[in-house]
Copies of this chain bind each other. A is one copy, B any other.
Amino acid sequence: MADPKENVLMEKIVSLCKRRGFVFQSSEIYGGINGFWDYGPLGAELKRNVKELWWNTMTRMREDVAGLEATIIMSPKIWEASGHVATFSDPMIDCKTCKGRFRADQINDISCPQKPSKMVSECAGEKTAPRPFNLMLQTYVGPIQSEENIAYLRPETAQAIFAQFKNVLETSRQKVPFGIAQVGKAFRNEVTPRNFTFRSREFEQMELEFFIKPDEVVEAISGSVATPAAAGHPGEPQPNWGWQLWHQYWVEERVRFYEGIGLDRSTLGFHIQTPEELAHYARATTDILFKFPFSKVDEQGNVKGDELEGIAARSDFDLSQHERFSGKTMGIFDEELRTAWGKLPKEKQDDLWRRYYQARKNYLEKSGVKPEDAEKDATEDANGLAKGQYIPHVIEPSAGVDRLILALIANAFTEVTDTDDKGKSETRVVMKFHPRVAPVKAGVMPLLKNKPELVKKALAVRDLLRPWMNVYYDDAGSIGRRYARQDEAGTPYCVTVDFETLGEKPELLDTVTIRHRDDGKQERLAIGELRDWLLARGR
């Protein structure tokens, strides 16, 4: 159960989000629509910064990742191949009396709409047996609403990456190991959207599919597969890494990303999926959690947290499924493997052949291929090794943008109490965003509004900075009020133009005051250094 104190905190956060334009209820003037949220001016900037940082970290700063931007609606065959059409569902029960539909696992917790004193499981209404309710939103593309025109709104961005794997490989001059990154919207018809923006029906994902060599191929080329030596970041990628080290690497890279935008390791949690939780094709999945105000507290008072991102080692399941369903080969040719294979002793070849064959056969059988076909196909696949052919495996770090935004907001939310000269106290909110994600990087303000020379200079400072970062010019009200306004918006620095800027003290000509949000500290900086000073902190 969540701590009631923390529910108060959630209420304060939701209220601040509306008041300052971080998050609004979608279609609010029409009573809203359950599970949909809009980002207001500050929220939109915060979200843009997060997506931009992820994209730059994942693609621009790396040689081994290419970007992709695919459509939300794709061929419905993609969702047959991925398994979503068959299995992406919750079991639901219909009540023939009240016509309500309820999640089968929640009938003991939900009140009967007609007799609220009873739970659905206890009421007299005649119920159907549980039936699967697919979570994909469905539409029709084309002029006729017929079976063949059914299409789905993607429930995840990942599948487009698999479907375009070959196109990207062929046009981007990449070689395995390499990744394909994508940011975009996805939709799930959640039965019970909840926890503000945490579980919504329309959301955004940042997904990387990082393609690696199967362990048997690594072993053929490098002689052996390196095994994790210790916990923590394993360092720069090496040719002898198998899936375990790549998985460890990406978990740690992603944690570094969160640390880099202000989520200390102490705010995070980890969940390593148990064998029972893992999908049959998955080798391992580590979830990175954040301790949200609504996260459950266990009996020892510990908070585990709720999921921000899952990093899954998905074997070659996805590419294999698309190969089977599309009839197009997803395998690649690797010259290095072909050369290395020819030089291996016969028993090594046999050993690798057998392990690869076994893995392929397991996949095929579990995917419903008839045993005799599975044996035949797996044999063919394993025979490919000698020709330098294999289907890459994949490590998938998959993050939810909206959850991360909510984590950043919850993490930044701080109440401070100021006491004035007369002993009067006032509590106000300071949003302690890391400068890299802060919606506004600097407030720019003339000390006084009614001094044209101060205003002119402050506008010049604004014009100097705004091609490089989002700044907010403010000349309304006392300087203290203006600082407080920026604190609430999460602006890390305020730049004030005062009489010293204009040369009242000659040695301070063309310097400004920088006021730090988190401790109120002030320092003096030359205008000429301002841009680089801010960029060094806020990019």
Contact = CB atoms under 8 A, between A and B. Distances in A.
A141 B69 CA distance: 25
A341 B191 CA distance: 53
A333 interface: no
A63 B466 CA distance: 11
A38 B72 CA distance: 10
Contacts of A189: 140-143
Given A45-B67, A63-B473, A71-B26, A40 B171 contact: yes
A387 interface: no
Contacts of A56: 467
A70 B539 contact: no
A185 interface: yes
Interface in A453-474: 466-467, 470, 473
Contacts of A45: 67
Interface string A134-162: 00011111111000000101000000100
A326 interface: yes
Contacts of A48: 55
Contacts of A167: 18, 21, 24, 28, 40
Contact of A39 (B43, B69, B139): B69
Interface in A16-43: 18-21, 24, 26-43
A201 interface: yes
B69 A29 contact: no
Nearest to A144: B101
A525 interface: no
Contacts of A34: 141-142
Which of A31, A38, A55, A144 counts the most chain B CB atoms within 10 A?
Answer: A38
Nearest to A27: B75
Nearest to A60: B470
Nearest to A70: B38
Contact of A60 (B42, B61, B466): B466
Interface string A50-83: 0000011000110100111111111101100000
Nearest to A92: B143
Contacts of A346: none
A185 B142 CA distance: 18
Which of A27, A28, A39, A45 counts the most chain B CB atoms within 10 A?
Answer: A27
Given A69-B39, A69-B43, A164-B40, A78 B143 contact: no
A44 interface: yes
Nearest to A151: B33
B35 A141 contact: yes
Nearest to A81: B30
A522 interface: no
A226 interface: no
Contacts of A61: 466-467
A509 B140 CA distance: 64
A250 interface: no
Given A33-B151, A38-B164, A467-B539, A44 B21 contact: no
A168 interface: yes
A88 interface: no
Contacts of A20: 171
A328 interface: yes
A187 interface: yes
Nearest to A36: B71
A393 interface: no
A166 interface: yes
A202 interface: yes
Interface string A178-208: 0000000101010100000000011000000
Contacts of A467: 56, 61, 539
Given A29-B166, A167-B28, A467-B61, A137 B139 contact: yes
A68 B55 contact: no
B141 A32 contact: no
A515 interface: no
A73 B187 contact: yes
A139 B138 contact: yes
20 contacts: A18-B167, A19-B171, A26-B71, A26-B73, A29-B322, A30-B75, A30-B78, A30-B325, A31-B75, A33-B71, A38-B71, A40-B168, A40-B172, A41-B66, A41-B68, A44-B69, A48-B55, A60-B466, A71-B202, A153-B153
Interface of A: 18-21, 24, 26-45, 47-48, 55-56, 60-61, 63, 66-75, 77-78, 92, 101, 133, 137-144, 151, 153, 160, 163-164, 166-168, 171-173, 185, 187, 189, 191, 201-202, 322, 325-326, 328, 466-467, 470, 473, 476, 539
Given A31-B75, A41-B67, A92-B143, 4 more contacts: A26-B74, A36-B74, A60-B470, A101-B144
